[in-house]
Amino acid sequence: MALMRAHNRQGALHSDGLRAGLRVGSAVENGGLMEYFFGKDGKKCLQHEKFVLFLRNLHDEILRLEFAHYDYKLQGTISAKDFGLSMVASADIKHLDKLLDRVDDLDNEANLNNIRITFEEFKNFAELRKKLQPFSLALFSFGEVNGLLTRKDFQRAASQVCGVSLTDNVIGIIFHLFDANGDGSLSANEFVRVLQKRERDIAQPTEAGILSFLSCFWNCSNNTSIRLLLS
């Protein structure tokens, strides 16, 4: 628990386990999850499979709450604009206005403005965010080899590198938002930067950002393995 708090911005502020604003007289470890995992006497062993299942269910529940925030009419789907907002909401403030304008422009795109995104599509994109590092490597490798990042490149990288299936509707919205000059090619730097900031804001890891790592990768000629994987 201490290690997990150290890698979370809010947790790091409450390293003693006490939560500000709540009337608690002892550390969080003395109840709640610790009791659920280890029993009231703290002597029960936690099985690895149970813990993994708990984390998966927790992740799914958080995603459902986020999806429900946009699906307030309980239609089971969200609009293209709402899906776009969910992607750009964590963008750096100096880029946010530009991205919000692109979200608004979805209303003027006949092939996108009536699209509805399902929870399954929303969840698959969230899975891609969790695998941002290998996916980013794939995108930059494609860009270096081909010069452009097409929709087929994006879809193939998600599938072959991350095992995530993205629908044409999801990819169409992504390219509308992150095709900066309208040439049909993804602006990979901008796309990765927005997703990285979202994940950093959630977890605030201690290691250096992925973009600094990718800048080294970009200048590295030893990327044969990932090219083979994507071929």
In a domain, 181, yes or no: yes
CB 173 within 8 A of CB 179: no
Q: Kindly state the average pLDDT of the residues 210-214.
A: 47
- Tell whether 39 is covered by a domain: no
Cβ(162)–Cβ(154) under 8 Å? no
CA dihedral 179, 165, 201, 100 (to 10 degrees): 30
The pLDDT, as a whole number, for residue 8 is: 63
pLDDT of residue 11: 59
Residue 209 lies in a domain: yes
pLDDT value of residue 39: 85
- Asked whether residue 25 is assigned to any structural domain, the reply reads no
**Residue 97: pLDDT band with limits 50, 70, 90:** confident
pLDDT the model gives residue 20: 53
Mean pLDDT, rounded, for 91-112? 86
Q: Under a CB-based contact definition with an 8 Å cutoff, are residues 7 and 206 in contact? A: yes
Question: Alpha helices, DSSP H only, in 33-182?
Answer: 33-38, 48-70, 80-88, 93-104, 119-130, 132-146, 151-162, 168-178
Structure confidence at residue 219 (pLDDT): 45
Cα–Cα distance, 152 to 60 (Å, whole number): 28
The domain containing residue 161 runs over which residues? 59-230
The pLDDT, as a whole number, for residue 69 is: 93
pLDDT in tens, 30-84: 557 788 888 888 888 888 998 899 888 888 898 999 999 999 999 999 999 999 9
The mean pLDDT of 155-182, rounded to a whole number, is 89
Examine residue 44 and state whether it is found in any structural domain, yes or no.
Answer: no
Q: What is the pLDDT of residue 166?
A: 93
Counting Cβ atoms within 10 Å, is residue 163 exposed (0-12), middle (13-18) or buried (19+)?
exposed
Q: Is residue 91 included in any domain, yes or no?
A: yes
Residues 6 or more apart whose Cβ sits within 8 Å of residue 75 = 116
Q: Is residue 2 part of a domain?
A: no
Note whether residue 53 is domain-resident: no
Number of domains making up the chain: 1
Q: What is the pLDDT of residue 82?
A: 94
